[in-house]
Amino acid sequence: MTDAPPDPLLALRPWEAPEVTSWGRLPMNAVDRRSGAVLLDGDWRFQLLPSPDAPLGEVWSSSYVPGAWTVQGTDDLPQYLNIRMPFAEFPPDVPAANPTGVYERTVDVPAEWTGRRIVLQVGAAESVLLVHVDGRPVGISKDSHLAAEFDLTGLVRPGERATVRLTVVKWSDASHIEDQDQWWHGGITRSVLLYAVDPLHLADVTVRARRDGDLLVECRVRDAAGALPEGWYVSGELDGHLLTQDAAFDRANADDERVSGFLGEARLRTAVPDVRTWNAETPELYGLTVRLHRADGTVADTSRHRVGFRDVEIDGRDLLVNGERVFIRGVNRHDFHPLTGRTVTYEDMRADLVLLKRFGFNAIRTAHYPNDPALYDLADELGFYVVDEADLESHDHAHEIADDPRYLGAFVDRVARMVLRDKNHPSVIVWSLGNESDYGANHDAAAGWVRRHDPTRPVQYEGAAKRGWADPDLASDIACPMYAPLEECLAHALSGTQTKPLIQCEYSHAMGNSNGTLADHWAAIEATPGLQGGFIWEFWDHGILQRVNDGRPAGRGGAGLYGNGVAAPGHRWAYGGDFGERDHDGAFIADGVVFPDRTPKPVMFEHREIAAPVRIDSFRHEGVVLSNHQHFRGLDWLSGEWELSLADGGTLTAPAELPALRPGETAAVPLPFALPEDGGEAWLTLRVTTAGDEPWAPRGTVVCLPQVRLRAAPPPRHSRVPDGPVEVDEDGLLVHPLLTSAPRLSLWRAPTDNDELGGMAARWGEWGLDAPLRTVVSVRRAPGRVAVVSDHLCEGGTVRHEQVLTAVEGGLLVDECAELPEALHDVARVGTVFETVAGLNLLEWFGQGPWESYPDRAAGAPVGHHCLAVDELFTPYLRPQESGGRHGVRRFTLSAPDATGLAVRLDRPRQVSVTRHRAADLAAVAHHDELVPRAGCVVHIDAAHRGLGTASCGPDTFASYLVAAGVHRWSWTLRVL
């Protein structure tokens, strides 16, 4: 008895062979094959082996496809690392301990597929895929984020059952170029399907649709038997209009072997009169059907496409869409779901894009790999500009791999396959060569392939652009830096040396309570030729829903997602380190503009206002000036309502008739209200909503809330004539029936992620700002007034604080002054903190809101009268931190259901927060399930509060938003309701 011959797929050992990018895999193409396919999603028999060389066991479990095994109950759990590889081996080596998933199921091959070509498509597998059918080897594929197709025609029989085995090896030489900032998973993460076509079939279809209405369709034809039969031809139909054969092309190639032999080519053309062009604002699409005919006229193959007529070009330092310089209001997006890891459904992706559209985004960078194919269909339909990025990131070993000839084939293969798959999508306007992989000959080779194959779109790559924003000889047509300081971008745009559009591929890092100065950036972008926008990092907080009792992923059968940013009871949002991994990068994975359940973070409202299509430019006595800030669309799709907010009154409303403005136009409209003569502060808001149903929003959805101040507040008039007693304890601290903790000086906040990673938190800790030692210097009592002077001893010096308490009619006036020494040049806040009795559960305020806002992130929070339950004020960032602040508050009340409570009026607009947590409570825990809310309210009134910035990965806030040393004064009144 002889040994069985070795499996040729295993013999190749593709997980450690960088020269093997595939074996037996079919070429990538853009032909639509979804119609009539047999979907193989569902439960597959499954074994997880310790390595690809390990023998199969006797016992099979099950695993759901598509899905990662790391979130389906195995012992191989998710691991998060940003830059470092999860193993020590250098490229192209991998560890011997290499989790390997073996998936198996039987497939009933339809009997009606007799005589047809049968193809298996695996949507995505991480990292190496080996395919067997009935024990026979079929092929190999690498590239974790693109589909792999294999011809099974000679291996299966229509009308019979076949056994398909898919073996997925987690680590490979390819892992070194898939080192993205995301969770490491393993498994089959996109759908698996089986389809059949005629032996004579469309091998590829390329659509070129110009904004002038010219349409060119290039078709490639193959026959499974080899030589093409005589007499075949291709026809095309665009929304009922027949396309014509490109006669010049046919004549020129009549004697070409490719036409009548192995590969056939044909061209179809038409010119569409009065064409409706595609852009992100009006994404007009036409239906194209391409048919391949046999000589007798019968149809052998069909491919359907949605066509958008548009042009993309670079003119000097401007990126143009249909001849217009467009602002790129973008976000970076991973394929992510908190229950299934990397697997997302069509409904998931549509919900992602609908949400982004509602908050003013018009662009997506597919960070850092080609996304699920359905995303591009949705981007075509809903209107997004897409930077399509290849699955190339070698962050940990970038310099070595960029010029390593062993990886040359992988670089070109991955970029080329992305282009071949996605080239017909009008939403794709830029090709990206990958991310954070240094820059070398491998990039130049890939760029050369793209420019030859698709000259209709620019190419970008940050690794090349950072060598010189204006260098014309590098493989990037766009200057696309990461987190470049605004002053550097402005200096470049004003230098006279700029040669390319400057569009940052990442520019504002959304980790925790972040995205400070976003409005400042956009004010500069819109005012500076040469600056054209960028992409926020990123869309999601990648928190995986984790069961608290056993620390494992909740998986597909996990608890429901509530939609308020908070994990379900008994669960938490897990980040790096929560699955027991020793090497991890913590909460750096939680850096999105939405929570893991897609709840918008407050920055989304900031972005919505920054991207407002209609704005109030100025106020004149006779009216206000409105402007249309879109590129292609008028205002007829919008409705408006005026709101007049009076500081000492209520809110008045009136319908608004928006003027007929073309893009870029302005018009003056009369004021809808006569201002009352009482002289109080007054703000006019235009509530802009959708006038009808949009594909991404029903009628009445808020689009933006532009606002203008009509009248400033008069100077505050506080009576400082004593009127009653002031009760304090022996330390000069106020005793009040509604307060459980007296008003004290506050200099510290629970560090945000930006504070921690930017170094500020460590500095504040060294200074001792979290618990300065209070020493009472003097307590001066007079009838109706108490003045307390205290020194707060810090490592950075002594802060002198004076608090004067004066009983005034109906309440208490508090005048405060704090003097910070020069050494304390950048503290978190200077202000007052106190705590209330339980039962005060409703906050009403006049100021900015209703959502959270901070000094450098307040453009999206209009001034007005707002009301929220105290428990709704807190923002549950994945790692607890400073949260729940409201900027520009003039006055507020905290009340119980019986309307009793307290009222506070401030000397001028201040930063205020009301939550159930002390700063120390937030700083002491890692997750929200560890927090115990206090029965009363913790209230902060800040004379000054530090901006948020984005220093966790990017520039800190501007100097104008820092809390400087010196004297800070503030006053407020406290009254009992």
- Which residues are identified as catalytic? 436, 506
Backbone angles phi, psi at 101, to 5 degrees: -100, 130
User: Is residue 122 packed enough to be buried (19+ CB in 10 Å), middle (13-18) or exposed (0-12)?
Assistant: buried
CB 382 within 8 A of CB 281: no
Cβ atoms of 531 and 493 within 8 Å: the answer is yes
CA dist., res. 469 & res. 500, Å (int): 7
d(CA 779, CA 786): 7
Side chain identity at residue 296, one-letter code: D
What are the φ and ψ backbone dihedral angles of 922, each rounded to 5 degrees? -65, -40
Task: Concatenate the DSSP letters of all residues of 686-726 into one string.
Answer: EEEEESS-BTTB-TT-EEE--EEEEEPPPPP----S--S--
Sign of CA dihedral 662, 666, 672, 678: positive
Instruction: Answer for the pair 817, 824: CB distance below 8 angstroms, yes or no.
Output: no
Cβ-contact 101, 168 below 8 angstroms? yes
Cα–Cα nearest to 18, from 124, 174, 180: 174
- DSSP result, 431-483: EE--SS----HHHHHHHHHHHHH-TTS-EE-HHHHTT-TT-TTSS-SSB--BS
Beta strand pairing call for 100-108 and 363-365: unpaired
Neighbouring CB atoms inside 10 A of 835's CB total: 17
Tokens 């007499």 belong to 231
Question: For strand 459-460 and strand 428-432, is the pairing parallel, antiparallel, or unpaired?
Answer: parallel
Residue 286 makes CB contacts below 8 A (sequence gap 6+) with 209, 238, 239, 272, 276, 306, 307, 308, 309
Residue pair 151/118 in contact by the 8 Å Cβ criterion: yes
CA gap 340, 338 in Å, rounded? 6
Element (H, E) at 884: none
* DSSP class of 896: -
Tokens of 941: 């009134």
Structure tokens at 410: 């992988």
